[in-house]
Amino acid sequence: MEKVNEIVSQLTLEEKIKLVVGVGLPGLFGNPHSRVAGAAGETHPIPRLGIPAFVLADGPAGLRINPTREGDDNTYYTTAFPVEIMLASTWNKELLEEVGKAMGEETREYGVDVLLAPAMNIHRNPLCGRNFEYYSEDPVLSGELASAFVRGVQSQGVGACIKHFVANNQETNRMIVDTIVSERALREVYLKGFEIAVKKGKPWSVMSAYNKLNGKYCSQSEWLLKKVLRKEWGFEGFVMSDWYAGDNPVEQLKAGNDLIMPGKVYQVNTERRDEIEEIQEALKEGKLSEEVLDECVRNILKVLMNAPSFKGYKYSNKPNLDAHAKIAYKAGLEGVVLLKNENVLPLIEGTPIALFGTGQIETVKGGTGSGDTHPRYTISILEGMEERGLKLDGELVNSYKEYIKKMRETEEYKPRTDSWGTVIKPKLPENFLSEREIKKIAKKNDVAVIVISRISGEGYDRKPIKGDFYLSDDEMELIQTVSREFHEFGKKVVVLLNIGSPIEIASWRDLVDGILLVWQAGQEMGRIVADVLSGEANPSGKLPTTFPKDYHDVPSWTFPGEPRDNPLKVVYEEDIYVGYRYYDTFGVEPAYEFGYGLSYTKFEYGNLKVSLENDLLKVSYTITNVGERSGKEVSQVYIKAPKGKIDKPLQELKAFYKTKELNPGESETISVGIPIRDLASFDGNGWIVEEGEYEVRIGASSRDIRLKDMFKIEEERKFGM
């Protein structure tokens, strides 16, 4: 701190202003002239005092920088990890830490100081275009996984940045929409995950969100950034704005948004303004004090003095991509969720497979926008299955290859590149094979595997229409025809879902025998899929988000706000009843519930012990693998509160645990401690735990509760902020 104060005392006013405003972004996304080409942002250097330019780069599925540079033969590829929703499906904190470490190493070795990840907004609605980049609908799962990931990243000597703070739960009009949400829903759902991550992960930085929160831009909300984040939670890092967020740089600094990104020139409606000039003027006119500016500078420097750039770290530009590919593979394997399995998976060795769906070749590795990555390779589903020696119908593969090639040459389906440099491929019709052709294929093969893919990304939300949330008519036709023809010969059908957030499944699942949710698994996608299909690996992922039966069941019916065509305001009418909190409390049956996921083996739960010692609820139970294959099991600890003054959801997740790989017959005893404070609800003033009988519910999912026990809180307890 002394060193920081010393530096601040030597800075001129001009230099201080420069330190709180980024250097700007000549390209729309990714600065080609940055020291690290393609990094999202950079700060101003002050060479006179040995302050370097700090480099900040996305993002949640891996470091996003340009893979090649003009006039340079070297390459700068990074590892494409599974998208966050898939990482969350692992429910494995150690694994998230390991992924964080790997990304942290790439961050450091490519000369970047802060990784702009993890993103951790709550899945309020399945249609948010960036849900793939976010962990969960539940704040405890989100917060715990984010903490682990942050610890991993920061163990490498670089910073993490948790984003987007807060309630950035939609992409539609994200830069202006006013999010109206009760303080209770904020505290218990939308802020909670960030609170856990700040306290347990201690991130170097927080990115304030684009949207307004109850009337004020998040980046201009002193309540959010000073009162809640710093005072109540004890955050000691710095806050940066999201790119071009807010409408007043002076208000941002005053509110505690220390760094304005990407900086310099920004646009409010059609007017271009210069942030540096505005801050200068405000200082001159006495509308901004130098103390406020000093505080922001101190917050930034205090942290970034530990960054590699400040220490003059000689980065290699050679991170260990081979080792990280293995981690990406492992994380993907654990994130696959088996949704349905009627005696079809794993496939018997040598089973002749007919692989359908254009996604086998045009496999979607991740979403678009700042969460995209540029890996050395992406193994498509087809390539993975071929590499692993699965027995595919070669003729069918060739028909797909030819079909895709032909279609991509037409004007209508020509791939185009978006402003982030991602190649966008318009969706191809999936029903190009005739019934007769499919019948022939069904005769020759023993199982059909159909790939259904979706992609979404930053800047827009998904739609509750066919081809997006619902299957398109051609996809439905493919599933119907293939199922009919294969079943006629007594053969089985498996659907692979290569998606980034929920789609509608309930209306067609009865047609097929197996459904494997393989998400968007990054560069190792095809290998992951092949190894789960063949039984080389046993899936152990569980859903971090509810798959509703139908879009009409979703509680956030106000999404994406009003007026519908150009929403300026979105009111969170469902309040705290987000995800399973809603479905469970109001008895609405989802297609697949929060926490759901099957395995190739079976687990038994037993031996529940619950005790309350001082302010700690101690819970222990045993999980035994009673099946015939080894595997891991994710167990979930829910608490059901008694009826009291405050309306409570039926149950809330308070802890979770993934076992080690258990051999058949093997058991593991799990012990978790839940501080009583974690059972509290926000009553408008503070946190309160009401008296009465509480139920501990140990679930294999939120609706498959295996063990229950009660404990009593004798007297109401109140906790401060």
Q: Which residues are tagged catalytic? A: 242
Tokens of 502: 């929920």
Separation between Cα atoms, residue 190 and residue 202, nearest integer Å: 18
Hey, which residues between 623 and 682 contact ligand BGC (CB under 6 A)?
A: none
| Residues forming a β-bridge with 451 | 496
Exactly one of 61, 88, 116, 240 binds ligand BGC (CB under 6 A); that residue is 116
Separation between Cα atoms, residue 360 and residue 390, nearest integer Å: 14
CA 710 to chain centre: 34
CB closer to ligand BGC, 130 vs 527 = 130
Q: Check residue 242 for interaction with ligand BGC (CB under 6 A).
A: yes
Residue nearest to ligand BGC (CB): 40
CB closer to ligand BGC, 242 vs 468 = 242
Q: HSE (CB half, 13 Å, CA atoms) of 715?
A: 5
Separation between Cα atoms, residue 411 and residue 476, nearest integer Å: 25
CB closer to ligand BGC, 58 vs 113 = 58
Exactly one of 54, 91, 243, 559 binds ligand BGC (CB under 6 A); that residue is 243
Exposed/middle/buried for residue 434 (C-beta within 10 Å: 0-12, 13-18, 19+): exposed
Hey, which residues between 429 and 468 contact ligand BGC (CB under 6 A)?
A: 458
Q: Check residue 137 for interaction with ligand BGC (CB under 6 A).
A: no
Beta carbon of residue 150, minimum distance to ligand BGC (angstroms, whole number): 15
Beta carbon of residue 422, minimum distance to ligand BGC (angstroms, whole number): 13
Print the binding letters for residues 158-187 with ligand BGC: x by CB under 6 A, - otherwise.
Answer: -----x------------------------
Contacts with ligand BGC by CB under 6 A: the residue count is 10
Beta carbon of residue 370, minimum distance to ligand BGC (angstroms, whole number): 4
Exactly one of 23, 37, 58, 177 binds ligand BGC (CB under 6 A); that residue is 58
Exactly one of 370, 378, 481, 520 binds ligand BGC (CB under 6 A); that residue is 370
Tokens of 18: 């420069």
Residue 553's nearest CA partner among 590, 520, 528, 516 is 590
What pairing do the DSSP bridges indicate for beta strands 68-69 and 72-75?
Answer: antiparallel
Beta carbon of residue 58, minimum distance to ligand BGC (angstroms, whole number): 5
Q: HSE (CB half, 13 Å, CA atoms) of 239?
A: 29
Beta strands in 593-716 (DSSP E): 603-613, 616-625, 634-640, 652-658, 667-675, 681-682, 687-689, 692-701, 704-713
Q: Check residue 382 for interaction with ligand BGC (CB under 6 A).
A: no
What pairing do the DSSP bridges indicate for beta strands 216-217 and 212-213?
Answer: antiparallel
The full length of the chain comes to 721
Separation between Cα atoms, residue 463 and residue 620, nearest integer Å: 43
Beta carbon of residue 172, minimum distance to ligand BGC (angstroms, whole number): 14
Beta carbon of residue 116, minimum distance to ligand BGC (angstroms, whole number): 4
**DSSP notation for 138-188:** -HHHHHHHHHHHHHHHHTTTSEEEEEEETT----TTTTT-EEE--HHHIII
CB closer to ligand BGC, 144 vs 171 = 171
Exactly one of 40, 61, 103, 301 binds ligand BGC (CB under 6 A); that residue is 40
Print the binding letters for residues 196-235 with ligand BGC: x by CB under 6 A, - otherwise.
Answer: ----------------------------------------
Print the binding letters for residues 564-583 with ligand BGC: x by CB under 6 A, - otherwise.
Answer: --------------------
What does the angle CA 358 – CA 363 – CA 365 come to, to the nearest 5 degrees?
160
Beta carbon of residue 187, minimum distance to ligand BGC (angstroms, whole number): 24
CB closer to ligand BGC, 138 vs 458 = 458
**DSSP notation for 471-529:** PPHHHHHHHHHHHHHHHHTT-EEEEEEE-SS----TTTGGG-SEEEE----GGGHHHHH
Beta carbon of residue 367, minimum distance to ligand BGC (angstroms, whole number): 12
Beta carbon of residue 226, minimum distance to ligand BGC (angstroms, whole number): 22
CB closer to ligand BGC, 81 vs 243 = 243
CB closer to ligand BGC, 242 vs 251 = 242
The secondary element (H helix, E strand) that includes residue 104 is: helix 93-109
CB closer to ligand BGC, 208 vs 378 = 208
What pairing do the DSSP bridges indicate for beta strands 416-417 and 423-424?
Answer: antiparallel
Contacts of 253 (CB under 8 A, 6+ apart): 20, 260, 279, 288, 292, 293, 296
Query: What does the binding site for ligand BGC look like in residue numbers (CB under 6 A)?
Result: 29, 40, 58-59, 116, 163, 242-243, 370, 458
